[in-house]
Structure 1
Amino acid sequence: MTDGTTGRYAGVRAAVIGTGLIGGSVLLRLAEAGLDVVGWDPDPATRERAQHRGVVAPATIEQAVAGRDVVFLCGPLPTLAGTLALVAELTAPGCVLTDVGSTKVEVAEAADRLGLTDRFVPGHPMAGAESAGLTAASPTLLAGAAWVLCPAPGAATDAFRWLTGLLVELFDARVVPMSASAHDSAAALASHVPHLLAGALAGATQRAPLRDAVLTLAAGSFSDGTRVAGTPAERTANMLLGNRDRVLHELDEVRGFLDGLAAALRADDAPALVARYAEARAARSALSGRRFVGQTREFAVDGDHDAEVTWLRGLGDVGGHLTGCQVDSGTVSYTAWLPVAD
């Protein structure tokens, strides 16, 4: 990542609405990069903390978004649709809007109803921590993160292109283009169900007769498996409820695999246990040893936007990502990376 107002995004005026862990980290990184950025939070104490960290934090949301080129919406999931409608009214039509919520279908549908798909790009940086609030935020938290963006067909491609370039340049992001529904389906298994499993393991331990002994013996497997159980309960509940149907579907898939393990254990069937754990180990090994091959894809700036969006979404569906988006002389050029088959 670069510091200082260099590159094609020098002079961009940004605002961050909601300055908790993720919003605060976006805010601090944009400030570190030298952008003209302000942060607003409904909590006066949080705004004061932002000012103590050297960031401008106006008293009202109207002051925060006035004259901005891009606004990041980072409040709680249930508030995003309402905040989007308000910020859209307060900003110029050319202001790009995005969010960082962990579910995408609901806010994407709200943008469609409001007629904002030309400038709102649903987003979700895949990073975080079990702690919360601006005090836990860091300008490096999102560095190099996989950052989902959901391009809509048509003129929204312009906002998607611009925002992709900004995230790559300022956050070193790996932009993963997906439809909102594909994101929510993938995130259910990649992020949301793990919160359920972590909560179940930690919750069962809390109720166990030998709770303190368990905690004394707990090593890496318990610590790793329960880390996200330390996430604030309300934030986790909002995430799970916001993607309820997909989470329940994927939980059934996980339960089916777990039932198979339990059946093999009851039957004293070592070969079946070994086979299932070999299958699980393959996924874990692929996670840590993934390789990618690069390609460049070009489209006419004013060409077939539907074809461009179809290619972008397909890239995300197969596990690919973008590390560049450049618009020159009527052509948009993407630097894409696709996973190599195991």
Structure 2
Amino acid sequence: MVGGAGGQVRAAVVGTGLIGGSVLLRLREAGLDVAGWDPDPAIRRYAAERGVPAPDALEEAVAGRDIVFLCGPLPTLAATLTRVAGATDDRCVLTDVGSIKADVATAAFAQGIGHRFVPGHPMAGADRAGLTAATPDLLDGAAWVLCPGPTGMAAFRRIAALLIDVFHARVVPMSAPEHDTAAALASHVPHLLAGALAGAVQRTPLRDAVLALAAGSFTDGTRVAGGPPTRTANMLLGNRARVLAELDAVRSFLDELADALGVGDGAALTALLDEARTARSALGDRSYTTHRREFPAAVDHAGELAYLRELGAAGGHLSGCRVEADAVSYTAHLPADPTVG
């Protein structure tokens, strides 16, 4: 993989917690020239001990880089973006890994760097935190949302190609608002539900008995409740309006379940559970159709942007992005219609 000047890609990762650290380690494993930076001197020393350059100054870590990943806490992203943008030249592509996209996308456009900032969100994680928990394969094959903007198609193409090549990512292109709405149900509300279930167990007088009996259903349902509370709270607060809206939809379905249970209506309860099972089963049984699309490479093509956003909103993803002198071609996958065939 080559950088903007035709040489090896030079990348930097700012914020080396679980996700940032895993990005850093994978980039190094792939042979890229990579540097890391973290506000914690102890973390910088740890990174250096693992063979990754980690300068004391953020500006030194990002200077001269082709791509910079911003991986710090959500409340710090806008300020870090400003600082990194000022320390890098206009050819450097910037992206982030935060779980909320609309606010940081707005901040980038307000700063005049929308042409080189591509909001991103890898859909992976763990119930641990920090660089010591990071692994180079944590994000391997993950769905990785990228939010292309109307002036940043060249930047999108570069970062999409890198993610597919290095992380084997399933790149999901979406608008930032659509991402935040989808992520509310796919990620944020599940954190609330896991916290509610685990919190109820913590408060019951039979807590230890419940934990002694806990098996797969409890363990799977509360896994994300084991994550750092501050990180989870920042995520929920940052997407508060959408999380509350989707939580209302979950409450409504839960009320239907409770009502059916309360009146002993086995048929209604079974029908609701079957409806839920249909969505859960689709996680493992999805099949996809594959197609290729090509667009002019020399311009920010409105049709290209519309195609990409429609692909992501329809549940599709990219597994290929090839940029040549005159054209960019995408290999894309869409969920197959289960009624056809």
Give the TM-score category using the shorter length: over 0.9
4+ residue runs over 2 A deviation = 7-10
Question: 2:309 aligned to 299, 313, 326, which one?
Answer: 313
**Matching residue of 1:245:** 241
Verify the 8 A CA contact 2:18 2:131 in the aligned structure 1: yes
For 1:101 and 1:214, the matched residues in 2 are separated by 35
SS at match of 2:52: coil
SS at match of 1:55: coil
Equivalent runs, 1:111-190 vs 2, <5 Å:
111-154=108-151, 156-190=152-186
For 1:304 and 1:31, the matched residues in 2 are separated by 31
For 1:231 and 1:145, the matched residues in 2 are separated by 19
SS at match of 1:335: strand
Partner amino acid, structure 2, of 1:290: R
Name the count of aligned residue pairs: 335
TM-score by length of 2: 0.97
SS at match of 1:216: helix
**Matching residue of 2:283:** 287
Per the TM alignment, residue 54 of structure 1 is displaced from its structure 2 partner at its CA by: 1.4
SS at match of 2:69: strand
**Matching residue of 1:218:** 214
Partner amino acid, structure 2, of 1:89: G
What stretches of structure 2 of length at least 5 have no aligned partner?
none
For 1:57 and 1:307, the matched residues in 2 are separated by 41
**Matching residue of 1:328:** 324
Verify the 8 A CA contact 2:153 2:300 in the aligned structure 1: no
**Matching residue of 1:66:** 63
**Matching residue of 2:48:** 51
Equivalent runs, 1:1-20 vs 2, <5 Å:
7-8=1-2, 11-20=8-17
Partner amino acid, structure 1, of 2:323: V
What stretches of structure 1 of length at least 5 have no aligned partner?
1-6
Partner amino acid, structure 1, of 2:23: V
SS at match of 1:336: strand
SS at match of 2:100: coil
For 1:273 and 1:114, the matched residues in 2 are separated by 52
Partner amino acid, structure 2, of 1:300: P
For 1:83 and 1:140, the matched residues in 2 are separated by 26
SS at match of 2:89: coil
Per the TM alignment, residue 341 of structure 1 is displaced from its structure 2 partner at its CA by: 2.2
**Matching residue of 2:75:** 78
Question: 1:299 aligned to 292, 295, 304, which one?
Answer: 295
**Matching residue of 1:96:** 93
TM-score by length of 1: 0.97
Partner amino acid, structure 1, of 2:301: H
Question: 1:209 aligned to 205, 223, 226, which one?
Answer: 205
Question: 1:195 aligned to 191, 195, 198, which one?
Answer: 191
CA RMSD of superposed structures (Å): 0.9
